[in-house]
Every structure is written in C-alpha cells, then in structure tokens.
C-alpha cells in the first residue's frame, strides 16, 4: 500500500514523508539483514537517500507547519530545519506567522535552529528573525517638469501626490 501511495503523481510532501517513514519502520522491524536503506526506499520514487531523510524529518513538524509545506507556503528545506524544533518552539514560529503573516526563509530557519541548539531561542528572537531588519525609508524625488505634462494645470502638489499614490496602489495590487 505504501509503495502504491508513493507512485501517485500528485503526492503531497506530508504523504510522501509518512509513507517513507512507515516503509522505513516496517522494513527495519521485519528483521531483514541490516534493514533497508533510505537509498533503497527512495529508488522507486527517484529520491536520493538524503531526500528520503528530508521527507522523514517532515513527520516531526506540527500539523500547521506541515500543512504549510503541503501548500508550498514553506519550502521543503525550511520544513526540515523547523522539524528540529520542539513542539513549543514550533508553536512560537506559528504564532509569529499568525501575527506577521510570514514564515521564515531557509536562512532564517537555520538561524532559528541555531538559537535552539544554543538554548537561546525565544518567541521574540523568532519574530525578529522572521520580520528581518527594518529597511531604510525610500525617498523618490520627481521633478515638476517630468510629471507636469500628465496632469491638468489646476492640479496642485497635494492632488498630484494623491493621484500618484492611487496609481501606485493599483499597480501594486495588479503585480503582487
């Protein structure tokens, strides 16, 4: 059953993860000489031994994070990094996601894991890593003669600024 599940074309990462884990556990409990290797397990699905272990690591994620991997909101590698956190630490990541709308990038997830290993991980550290450093304010200056041709002569500076901001908002909504 596990093998046929692994052959499905659109298998979710979580399904693949639990299938690999079940197969590894089942084969190793059968007492086969030396057990079965991750390389053997991944062969049928064209996954390397390393990739099989990555998938198995996903089975240590709490449901919210695992679902985010399945929805491709969190990448496989990020999920693997987060899988080394305890459930309360993973809950901190999810709480930060709920308040910021962001999950960590791979680099941020590695830093979170590093803080965990150094026993310095707190929710505030997770939050600071996920939101990143504040970027400098961007200032753009347009010369009046560059933009005047686009507006009626009766438009004052404030009205021009309002129109530009509205247009940028519309453009942003269309392109993001």
Binned at pLDDT 50, 70 and 90, residue 35 comes out as low
- Phi-psi category of residue 151: left, alpha or beta, with phi > 0 → left and psi -120 to 50 → alpha: beta
Question: Would you state the pLDDT for residue 161?
Answer: 85
**Separation of alpha carbons 93 and 126, rounded Å:** 6
CA distances to 140, 169, 172 from 165, rounded to whole Å, are 12, 6, 10
Considering only residues 2 and 127, tell me which one the structure prediction assigns the higher pLDDT.
127
Report the chain's C-alpha Rg in angstroms. Answer: 25
**Separation of alpha carbons 47 and 35, rounded Å:** 18
Instruction: Please write the tens of the pLDDT for every residue from 111-162.
Output: 999 999 999 999 999 999 999 755 556 777 888 888 888 999 998 888 888 8
CA torsion angle 9 11 17 19 (round to 10) = -70
User: Is residue 131 within 8 Å of residue 100, measured between CB atoms?
Assistant: yes
């Amino acid at each position: 059953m596990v093998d046929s599940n692994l052959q499905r074309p659109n298998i979710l990462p979580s399904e693949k993860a639990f299938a690999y884990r079940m197969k590894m556990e089942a084969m190793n409990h059968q007492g086969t000489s030396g057990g079965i290797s991750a390389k053997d397990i991944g062969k049928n699905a064209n996954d390397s031994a390393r990739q099989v272990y990555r998938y198995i690591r996903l089975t240590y994620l709490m449901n919210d994070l695992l679902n985010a991997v399945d929805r491709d909101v969190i990448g496989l590698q990020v999920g693997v990094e987060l899988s080394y956190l305890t459930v309360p630490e993973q809950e901190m990541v999810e709480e930060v996601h709920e308040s910021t709308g962001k999950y960590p990038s791979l680099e941020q997830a590695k830093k979170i894991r590093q803080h965990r290993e150094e026993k310095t991980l707190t929710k505030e550290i997770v939050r600071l890593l996920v939101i990143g450093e504040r970027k400098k304010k961007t200032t753009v200056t347009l010369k009046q003669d560059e933009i005047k041709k686009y507006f009626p002569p009766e438009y004052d500076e404030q009205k021009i600024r309002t129109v530009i901001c509205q247009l940028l908002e519309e453009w942003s909504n269309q392109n993001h």
